[in-house]
């Protein structure tokens, strides 16, 4: 009953208004407010500050600065060699597997359209038909910077407007097409294993999505738009930071058919650390 009420409220509440309000509070620099919020958050979610570059959370200028905190050098190892795919973030595997008949498995009883996920462009969807997907959920206590799972050169970024449902397990099991209906940034890369998509999915009270090449993604109008990168295309190494969430969300990674394979020991519910080996390039691209 509690889970059902949680889902119903998400349909009824003004998702974008609540998220904008949360964003303003998270950016507040008043010491009495931001310190109280940060202290409560660390205790409530048992955040491990020993890994952070700055151990005292209240020294951060705002809650968002604390939430997107940098880790100290050596806190994460980028495992394997250049043919290895690594986790883009700290989090939990929501699902991973093969894209079948143009659909991606979300949770028991639910799947969603690959075409819808990438913004409705059939050419983009065709790149990943029959390929591999991995969905990683970042909980509130996790490190919230997103890193490259594989070395690549950015070719296009598509902003897709949408809802802002929560992306936790309960919502994934109860809201159809969750990751294809929420607001998201679809980042398309050229890699040694062929095309790769890293999709940053927004969620309820996620104040913003940022990338290292474009800064905060904050379109003036909520409509689909894309930007291609040619001569100025940024190239990012495996494990290099590519973006961050101001408050938690989900990352979906896509590879084409026959180019990569996931580690056979991984499955839904497994915890990941950024840089952990999760797959390998299957052959020459």
pLDDT per position as a tens digit, 240-266:
999 998 776 899 999 999 999 999 999
Q: Which of 90, 110, 142, 144 is catalytic?
A: 90
Of the listed ranges 4-8, 57-61, 73-77, 135-139, the one predicted with least confidence: 4-8
Residue 56: what are its φ and ψ, rounded to 5°?
A: -85, 110
Contact call for residues 272 and 74 (beta carbons, < 8 A) = no
Active site residue 235: no
From the centroid of its chain, how far is CA 192? Answer: 22
Active site residue 90: yes
pLDDT for residue 82 is more than 90? yes
What dihedral do alpha carbons 119, 235, 264, 81 form, nearest 10°? 180
Which of helix, strand or coil describes residue 252? Answer: strand
Active site residue 55: no
Compute the distance between CA of residue 226 and CA of residue 236 in angstroms, rounded to an integer: 20
Scan for tokens 């009953």, then name that residue. Answer: 1
What are the tens digits of pLDDT across the range 188-239? 999 999 999 999 998 876 657 889 998 888 655 678 889 999 878 899 999 9
pLDDT at 219: 56
Q: Which of 62, 87, 94, 249 is catalytic?
A: 249
Model confidence at 72, pLDDT cuts 50, 70, 90, reads very high
Phi-psi region of 2 (alpha: psi -120 to 50; beta: other; left: phi over 0): alpha
Of the two residues 268 and 20, the one the predictor is more confident about is: 268
Give the DSSP per-residue string, 80-133: S-TTEEE-SSSEEEEEEEE-BTTEEEEETTEEEEHHHHTTS-HHHHHHTTT-EE
Percent of the chain with pLDDT over 90: 67
Between the alpha carbon of residue 53 and those of residues 5, 44, 115, the distances in Å are 39, 21, 40
Two tokens, residue 28: 């507040």
pLDDT at 248: 64
Residue 214: what are its φ and ψ, rounded to 5°?
A: -125, -5
The whole-model pTM stands at 0.92
Contact call for residues 147 and 274 (beta carbons, < 8 A) = yes
Which of helix, strand or coil describes residue 244? Answer: strand
Most confident range (mean pLDDT) of 80-89, 168-177, 195-204 is: 80-89
What are the tens digits of pLDDT across the range 97-141? 999 999 999 988 899 999 999 999 999 999 999 999 999 999 888
pLDDT at 249: 85
What are the tens digits of pLDDT across the range 12-58? 777 777 777 777 778 889 999 999 999 999 999 999 999 999 999 99
Compute the distance between CA of residue 188 and CA of residue 152 in angstroms, rounded to an integer: 9
pLDDT for residue 283 is more than 90? no
What are the tens digits of pLDDT across the range 156-165? 999 999 888 8
pLDDT for residue 285 is more than 50? no
Q: Which of 65, 142, 147, 166 is catalytic?
A: 147
pLDDT at 218: 62
């Amino acid at each position: 009953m509690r889970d059902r009420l949680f889902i119903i409220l998400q349909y009824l509440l003004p998702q974008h208004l609540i998220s904008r309000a949360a964003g303003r509070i998270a950016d507040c620099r008043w010491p009495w407010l931001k310190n109280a919020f940060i202290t409560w958050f660390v205790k409530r979610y048992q955040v491990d500050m020993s890994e952070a570059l700055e151990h005292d959370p209240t020294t951060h200028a705002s809650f968002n600065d604390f939430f997107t905190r940098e880790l100290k050098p050596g806190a994460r190892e980028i495992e394997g060699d250049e043919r290895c795919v690594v986790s883009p973030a700290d989090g939990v595997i929501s699902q991973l597997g093969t894209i079948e008949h143009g659909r991606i498995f979300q949770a028991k009883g639910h799947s969603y359209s690959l075409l819808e996920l990438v913004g409705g462009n059939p050419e983009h969807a065709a790149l990943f038909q029959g390929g591999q997907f991995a969905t990683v959920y970042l909980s509130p206590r996790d490190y919230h910077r997103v890193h490259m799972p594989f070395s690549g050169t950015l070719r296009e970024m598509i902003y897709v407007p949408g809802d802002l449902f929560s992306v936790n397990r309960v919502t994934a099991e109860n809201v159809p097409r969750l990751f294809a209906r929420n607001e998201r940034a679809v980042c398309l890369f050229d890699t040694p294993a062929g095309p790769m998509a890293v999709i940053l999915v927004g969620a309820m009270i996620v104040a913003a999505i940022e990338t290292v090449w474009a800064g905060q993604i904050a379109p003036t109008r909520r409509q689909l738009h894309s930007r291609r990168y040619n001569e100025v295309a940024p190239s990012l190494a495996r494990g290099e930071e590519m973006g961050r969430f101001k408050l938690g969300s989900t990352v979906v990674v896509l590879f084409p058919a026959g180019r990569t394979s996931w580690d056979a020991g991984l499955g839904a519910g497994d915890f990941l650390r950024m840089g952990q080996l999760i797959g390998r390039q299957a052959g020459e691209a």
